Amino acid sequence: MKPAGVQSSVLLFNKPFGVLCQFTDAEGRATLADYIDAPGFYAAGRLDRDSEGLLLLTNDGTLQQRISHPRFKLTKRYLVQVDGEIDDAALQSLRRGVQLKDGPAKATKVRRVDEPEHLWERDPPIRVRRNIPTSWLEISLREGRNRQVRRMTAAVNFPTLRLIRTHIGPHEVWPLASGECRFARNGSPT
């Protein structure tokens, strides 16, 4: 909860590859503290260490729950680079839903997209295999189970190489560069 009289705020952060969604790490790995100096702000949801893109932080516990809890069904959109030329059958399977070990998972929206021109470089870059092409997808979900997008693309035999969250509800990562943050114009997630 935020202290009385303090306005709720949302901080948008473009999380780089390899950064943990926490402020401390006993193993000395990169954390939010390496990029953000905002006492009282905490991540609303998570992104895996090997994923990039939009992370929201807030100083309001109630707002943090509304952003991160699946009950509120806040849409999250991802750009996904997969190994291979994804086919229509795989796209249809993702739309219909795939069975994961922890139950069925279904994207609310899936479409093939061109490689984004305005995308920042990843450090380190993904592995490149000259004889195997890659393709890009845009996937939207209303839930966020552990490594869900990666497990979904693997279930249709197109492993994820790069995963970038671009949107959470009305908030988007653009035009933030990797490692940049700024306050949202409107603190409300819906």
**Catalytic annotation, residues:** 48
- Using CA atoms, how far apart are residues 110 and 15, in angstroms rounded to an integer? 23
- Using CA atoms, how far apart are residues 38 and 59, in angstroms rounded to an integer? 9
CB 33 within 8 A of CB 14: no
Write the DSSP assignment of 110-163 as a string of letters: EEEEPPPTTPPPPSSPPP--TTS-EEEEEEEES---TTHHHHHHHHTT--EEEE
